[in-house]
Amino acid sequence: MKNLNAETVNGFGDEWSRFDQSGAPEQELSGMFYRYFNIFPFEIITQQSKGFDLGCGSGRWARLFADNVGELHCIEASEKALEVAKRNLSEKDNCVFHLASVDEMPLEDNSMDFGYSLGVLHHVPDTFEGIKACVSKLKRGAPLLLYIYYAFDNRPPWFAKLWKCTELFRSIISRLPYGLRYWITQLIALTVYYPLAKSALLLEKIGFTVDSFPLAGYRKISFYSMRTDALDRFGTQLERRFTASEIKEMMERAGLSMIKFSDSAPYWCAIGYKK
């Protein structure tokens, strides 16, 4: 395994072992699934389609996606996370599990009818090579859905500066022992995520527009998901961010065309088709 950061992979193994998503409300997961997949062309896949979920983590998206297709290859670089996914997907007999990094996916080139990778390729050393590896597994014309962290290119300048301030905390917390980083991030969820999210909800209810309010995206999200994402955000060592134009350029260079971005959060979700 070359295109991975071992400490980041181990961190996600710890995260999904602690948050296997059994505590997340089903309606909330379904809503999140829709926001990620609302630009995915479900109309072109069938019960005979075969594809992959790169970086399946706990299997939360595969559980909602698998019934649409004939075979779903769940690929994960963390052994601990893959065990969680196997438990969560135990009733899905069309899921196939692989312990592998993006550069070592055990799939034949030009063999897959679709692919998706959500929240993964900004955590590898070479994001472009990761996209390229995904494209190599697709048949011609097959779609690839990606979610890659945005560089706040659709936000006001002060928003990006505020985020920069949090980077110092992430650089410190993500290097602590797993148990310690867990408890610190849970405290952040309680004292930062929850108050800001609920303040945004209150402001929205009295008539304010809260789209640019810090953590407003969590205003209708459970505390369980806030806790999960706080550990994700501050407990992960390697994180890269890209503008929409940078993501589009990488996707095109990797061999994708007809690229389309979702116009709603989370940013950036993009779909492209193998040339």
61-70, 133-142, 153-162, 181-190: least confidently modelled range? 153-162
**Residue 51 · residue 215 · CB < 8 Å:** no
Task: Determine how β-strand 143-147 pairs with β-strand 269-274.
Answer: antiparallel
Residue 44 is given by DSSP the state: G
pLDDT digits (tens, 9 = 90+) for 4-59: 999 999 999 999 999 999 999 999 999 999 999 999 999 999 999 999 999 999 99
Q: Please name the helix (run of DSSP H) or strand (run of DSSP E) that holds residue 138, with its range, or none.
A: none
Q: What local confidence, expressed as pLDDT, does residue 32 receive?
A: 96
- Confidence band for 227, pLDDT divided at 50, 70 and 90: very high
Cα torsion 1, 128, 167, 6 to 10°: value is: 0
Q: What is the pTM of this model?
A: 0.95
Neighbours of 187 (CB within 10 A): 11
Q: How confident is the model at residue 1 (pLDDT cuts 50, 70, 90)?
A: low
Torsion of CA 47, 51, 52, 53, to 10 degrees: -40
Instruction: Express each pLDDT in 115-155 by its tens digit.
Output: 999 999 999 999 999 999 999 999 999 999 999 999 999 99
> Residue 147: what are its φ and ψ, rounded to 5°?
-125, 115
Specify whether the CB–CB gap between 22 and 143 falls below 8 A.
no
Q: Which two tokens stand for residue 112?
A: 């897959």
What's the maximum distance between 2 C-alpha atoms anywhere in the chain? 55
Please return the burial class of 251, using the count of CB atoms within 10 Å of its CB with bins 0-12, 13-18 and 19+.
Answer: buried
More confident residue, 8 or 1: 8
H-assigned helices in 98-222? 127-136, 157-173, 178-188, 194-205
Return the pLDDT at 211. Answer: 87
Give the fold, CATH level 3, of 6-151+241-274. Rossmann fold (3.40.50)
pLDDT mean across residues, the chain: 96
pLDDT in tens, 229-254: 999 999 999 999 999 999 999 999 99
Query: 2-6, 63-67, 76-80 — which is least confidently predicted?
Result: 2-6
Burial of 27 (0-12, 13-18, 19+ CB in 10 A): exposed
Find out whether 29 and 60 touch, Cβ atoms under 8 Å: yes
Q: What share of the chain has pLDDT > 90, as a percent? A: 96
266 within 8 A of 247, measured Cβ to Cβ: no
Return the domain boundaries, the chain: 6-151+241-274, 157-235
More confident residue, 160 or 130: 130
Span 186-214, pLDDT tens digits: 999 999 999 999 999 999 999 999 988 99
Going edge to edge, which strands form the sheet with 269-274?
95-99, 71-76, 50-54, 114-118, 143-147, 269-274, 256-261
Question: Would you say the C-alpha torsion 223, 151, 81, 57 has a positive or negative sign?
Answer: positive
